[in-house]
Structure formats: C-alpha cells, structure tokens
C-alpha cells in the first residue's frame, strides 16, 4: 500500500499488527525490569503519542505519565541540529526512575539534549524506550537507550505518530519514503 503526503510518496514499511506485537514485548520487559518500582514515563511530543498510548496499555506496574515537547526537525526530513524546548516538565523527578518514550531516534541530538535536561532533576535512573532507532544516523553515544522496537536503516518514515510537515501522524502503519529515481 502507498500513500501520498504533499509532494512525497510513501510505501508501507511496518504494519500496525507488527508494531502492536513488538510494543507488547517492550511492555512485558519494562514490567519485569521495574517490577518493584514506580517509574515516570515521559513521552516526547508530538511523535511519541500513539506509541506511548499503546505502550502504556501493556505496562501493568504502577507508573506515572508526563510529556515534554522538544524539537530539532522543524518540519523538515532531517534534523536542523538546533534543539528548542517548547513544553517543560511538571513533575518532580528527584530520586525517581524515568523512562523517556520516543517515536524515533535518528541523530540523537534531541535525545542527548533531553537526557542532559532530565539529569539536572536528579532522577534515580534514566532509560529510553524508542519505537524506532536508526543506528547508522546516530551522531551521539546515548547509553540510556534501553528498549528499542525496531532498528531501521537511514530512511525517512511517517505514520504512527511520525510526520512529514505535520501530516501523516494519524496513519495506523509506518510508511517509508520512496524517492523518485532521477532521470539520466
């Protein structure tokens, strides 16, 4: 299946059923790892909202939820390299176990910034749970990456919370960009 978003065509890459199964496994692992704790899940808006909702349905331990909004994409396909915090935290993290929930880890610039900001709040621990990871794109080492749904190549993807120019977040599946072959 293909979808058109503005000037780009995308083909189905990860169907929702596969995402749902992997999310269930991540939830089970988090339940085991935090069995005697009450972690704070911090969703990174806007992209993580669908993944976070589905993940929280699989988490059976006591937990709190909060959100933060940071951005380095500004509507583009690739990161601008500049991080801008838009919405801050409204919960005390001192001595708490924190799990950052991300839709995708690309260069790691935004996530590295976020981990630094959260560390200033003196949490007991910080872990990262991301639906997607692009290992070839990482520009920063981020040891807090603990839970990863899928490792993908350096492709542009939309759907299931991920967008292109603000569009496509509502797609149930994840789609990858199909570049038009250049004429020679």
Indicate whether 154 belongs to any domain: yes
pTM above 0.85, yes or no: yes
Indicate whether 133 belongs to any domain: yes
State the 10-residue block means of pLDDT for the chain, 184 residues long: 92 97 98 97 94 98 93 52 66 96 93 90 97 94 96 95 94 89 53
Indicate whether 79 belongs to any domain: yes
Q: Which CATH number do you get for residue 66? A: 3.40.50.2020
Active site residue 103: no
Indicate whether 91 belongs to any domain: yes
What domain count does the chain have? 1
175's CB contacts (< 8 A; 6+ apart) are 2, 3, 10, 11, 12, 13, 157, 158, 159, 168
Name the catalytic one among 54, 106, 163, 173. Answer: 106
Indicate whether 24 belongs to any domain: no
Indicate whether 26 belongs to any domain: no
Q: What is the pLDDT of residue 94?
A: 97
């Amino acid at each position: 299946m293909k979808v058109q978003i503005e000037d780009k065509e995308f083909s189905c890459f990860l169907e929702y059923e596969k995402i749902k199964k992997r999310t269930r496994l991540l939830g089970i692992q988090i339940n085991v790892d935090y069995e005697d704790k009450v972690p704070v899940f911090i969703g990174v808006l806007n992209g993580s909202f669908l993944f976070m909702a589905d993940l929280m349905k699989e988490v059976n331990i006591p937990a709190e939820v909060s959100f933060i909004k940071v951005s380095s994409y500004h509507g583009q396909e690739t990161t601008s390299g500049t991080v801008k915090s838009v919405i801050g935290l409204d919960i005390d993290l001192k001595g708490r176990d924190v799990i950052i929930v991300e839709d995708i880890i690309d260069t790691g610039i935004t996530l590295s910034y976020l981990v630094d900001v959260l560390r200033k709040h003196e949490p007991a621990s910080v872990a990262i749970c991301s639906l997607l990871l692009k290992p070839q794109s990482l520009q920063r080492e981020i040891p807090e990456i603990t839970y990863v749904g899928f490792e993908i190549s350096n492709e542009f993807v939309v759907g299931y919370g991920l967008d292109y120019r603000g569009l496509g977040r509502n797609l149930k599946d994840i789609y990858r960009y199909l570049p038009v072959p250049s004429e020679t």
